[in-house]
Structure 1
Amino acid sequence: MPKVTFLPINETVDVESGQSLMDVAHEHHIPLECACEGSLACSTCHVIVDEAWFDKLEEATEDEDDILDKAFGLTPHSRLGCQIVMTEALDGLVVTIPEYSLNFKVEVKK
């Protein structure tokens, strides 16, 4: 079963292949918002993919790139969590949830 680590909360969770990263986050109560519920209409599930993993992802579609342009704190390794589908090849994936999205500030419990 693949694993994914969410930073900065430093939580690693098991996932099922075929789940979107957004669904994984919600299932495990990870603070990753998704105002559009995965319909590719907002940028609130914006994540920053660790550089070592970025090229292992499917390429972003033009629609995803258009939505990412609206993301707060966009980086060259930004993707939408609703568009990352977990596979065995992504076992060990590391993503960072940005501190801010268009709708809220992520609070990390210390």
Structure 2
Amino acid sequence: MARRHHGDVTRPAPGTGIKLHFKDSKGNLVKTIEANEGDDILSLAHEHDIDLEGACEGSVACSTCHVVLSPEHYDLLPEPSDDENDMLDMAFGLTDTSRLGCQVQLTRELDGMTATLPSATRNMFVDGKKPTHH
């Protein structure tokens, strides 16, 4: 498989992809999508118009793509890098199953995972203006 870049998302044929559920901070389902192996949560959120900021565009320089994952799926992921842990320390509403969406790439074993969006984000780089996605 060719190396993919952050934000490079191709939608799978319906019924063939890895299911990912997005919930809001109150636990209400926002949207269920299908994704391909190797897609990251931040890129998928942007592809499907889900309100997950990602101010640094996946360069692990902010915590605005912070999501809370379902515990049973969190344990299937590789450990976060030191850079990711440093950014997570600044995330609003940090939990034991928090990750940066830009750093979580989907695999078949993550089928059915839930990513819950926090009620707010902390962004040191932008003054309330939403970035445009390229």
| Letter aligned with residue 75 of structure 1 | T
| Letter aligned with residue 19 of structure 1 | D
Q: How many residues align?
A: 104
TM-score w.r.t. length of structure 2: 0.74
Q: Which residue of 2 aligns with 1:88?
A: 108
Report the Cα distance in structure 1 between the residues aligned to 2:65 and 2:50, rounded to whole angstroms.
11
Q: Which residue of 1 aligns with 2:49?
A: 29
- Cα-Cα RMSD: 1.2
Once the two structures are superposed, residues 35-55 of structure 1 have per-residue CA deviations (whole angstroms, 9 ceiling, x without a partner) of 000000000000001112110
Structure 2 unaligned blocks of 5 or more: 1-16, 129-134
**Cα shift at 1:58:** 1.6
Once the two structures are superposed, residues 1-40 of structure 1 have per-residue CA deviations (whole angstroms, 9 ceiling, x without a partner) of 1010000251110011111110000000011110000000
Q: Which residue of 1 aligns with 2:62?
A: 42
Q: Which residue of 2 aligns with 1:12?
A: 32
Provide the identity percentage: 47
Larger radius of gyration: 2
Asked if residue 54 in structure 1 is aligned to residue 70 in structure 2, the reply is no
TM-score w.r.t. length of structure 1: 0.89
Report the Cα distance in structure 2 between the residues aligned to 1:77 and 1:42, rounded to whole angstroms.
18
Choose from 76, 81, 88 the match for 2:96.
Answer: 76
Structure 1 unaligned blocks of 5 or more: 105-110
Q: 3-state DSSP class of the match of 1:63?
A: helix
Runs of 4+ in 1 over 2 A off after TM superposition: none
